[in-house]
């Protein structure tokens, strides 16, 4: 039996190693399922999940020119659908900055003064953080 990439077949586990499992496919072909392709969950020891002689459904992921067949078990199981924005707990809102005062009520001079004070605060915070990383603000260069 010839296999195509993407086809799903049933096979029998013939060997379980630390890195993956060998699966006998129809037509006396053998493929390997890497440990990362067994489950969406972390697996410490593959022998706790698969046993020799167990029948498994596998998806053909790749067929190398030398005849090696890469298989996957986790890709035969449908993953739960991701939640859409409308199902989020916050109603699908997108972050927007807070507005303390509507800009229409402030004069241009007031807006500039507010911007200047915020900028000075940010610059002083940045200087404090960078000087702390340099070792307390004492610099040899002047």
Chunked into runs of 10 residues, the chain (142 residues) has average pLDDT values of 85 94 92 92 89 93 91 83 52 60 74 90 88 65 54
In a domain, 16, yes or no: yes
User: Measuring CA to CA, how many Å separate 46 from each of 30, 50, 79, 142?
Assistant: 18, 6, 21, 61
In a domain, 53, yes or no: yes
| Confidence (pLDDT) at 129 | 84
**Domain shared by 110 and 53, yes or no:** no
| Confidence (pLDDT) at 86 | 47
Task: Please give the tally of structural domains in the chain.
Answer: 2
- Give the CATH number, domain containing residue 60: 2.40.50.140
Classify 11 as helix, strand or coil: strand
Q: Which range of residues forms the domain containing residue 126?
A: 103-134
| Confidence (pLDDT) at 13 | 95
**Domain shared by 108 and 55, yes or no:** no
């Amino acid at each position: 039996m010839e296999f195509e990439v993407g086809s799903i077949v049933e096979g029998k586990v013939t060997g379980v190693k630390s890195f993956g499992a060998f699966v006998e496919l129809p037509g006396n072909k053998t493929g390997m399922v890497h440990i990362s392709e067994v489950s969406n969950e972390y697996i410490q020891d593959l022998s706790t999940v698969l046993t020799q002689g167990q029948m498994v459904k596998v998806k053909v992921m790749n067929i190398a020119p030398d005849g090696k067949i890469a298989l996957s078990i986790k890709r035969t199981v449908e993953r739960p659908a991701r939640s859409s924005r409308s199902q989020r707990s916050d109603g699908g809102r997108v972050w927007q900055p807070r507005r303390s005062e509507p800009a229409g009520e402030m004069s241009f001079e007031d807006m500039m003064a507010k911007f200047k004070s915020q900028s000075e605060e940010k610059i002083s915070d940045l200087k404090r953080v960078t000087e702390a990383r340099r070792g307390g603000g004492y610099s040899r260069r002047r």
